[in-house]
Structure 1
């Protein structure tokens, strides 16, 4: 392979760049209650980062009426949409994305969100002009912790696994990246602890995008340039 292979960074968006983890938690909690499921918020929070199909299997019993799963997914999406106008980037998220692009890295928004939700997230971030590629839920046959979205992100950016890093906020991000031998930098801003992220295999852990940006020169990202 040529020595000048491109390098890049894949960013999870929900909970990593935009402060949405707890909004998703509350939206799922309300959706479950509407359909008669009493699931504690703490359990829901631990599952955020999974795709909705895997989240339902993880949180609900096998004896549930699976024909009602789509009602739950639709209810969650409808409830979460009420927050779109109030979404905010996490500290220095926009600056971090722009710093990666300025450093010569190909930037991918490796999101598993549905297109309407992804449009709201992109509007909040305002970095489309420096993004090389973007993924959505339509690009994955299986959701995280399956590696499909990571594979699509690599392909669209023309990146080899050893020339890319994934930045995410959940253990499911770390697990998905590891399945393709992509190193994952963990951020605790989604509410998952440093110990949990490191235990799942994160190669480095920072508090939030601002913390990673401040340490950029000493972080694994600097080794890609």
Structure 2
């Protein structure tokens, strides 16, 4: 085969090359799922299994969200009339439940694809005209440690929040320090007695230690809420109450 023929074959091979964009790895086959927490029933779009990209974990409802929602449904008086901001909202199962009790809920996530489904679920909830909910719901982009995004939210809510919420929101160890950077700023800007309610699910001893260590290192007080330690999806979970 001549050089020209080889070059021709090579060019043809290049033309046949398939370039995979990031959308190839995204699973957006959402299904409408029903969740029941106490007497409260929610219907939300979500995935039943994760996308290829680990950064899209927010497309699922995780055990920590179920733990926090059970706690919320059993202690609704803690949220009555409050303004709340949720970190790592994912599909919004916790924030939307909170709207049954709070007067305002801001749901946040850092991933643009997750924000799309989060906003759809807010619209779905609002279109259902649930008589039990009159809270103002909104979705905002927030990457932990990103002061510009956080300041943008606080400019819209200069009075701060009564509650900061989070459930199963730490997948990688390097996400924990910026998480608590953001939590501390929200607590500092929050209203009197503002607190961070965290549903923690244990998956490694190292992460168990790190979460507590980072909270204390940021000058925060972390307290296990009595009676909340339980097994969920074969994992041990607990609710933490974190304050300045």
**Range of TM-score over shorter length:** 0.3 to 0.5
TM-score (norm 2): 0.39
TM-score (norm 1): 0.41
Q: Larger C-alpha radius of gyration, 1 or 2? A: 2
Give the structure with the higher percent strand: 2
Higher relative contact order structure (alpha carbons within 8 Å, sequence separation ≥ 6):
1
Give the structure with the higher percent helix: 1
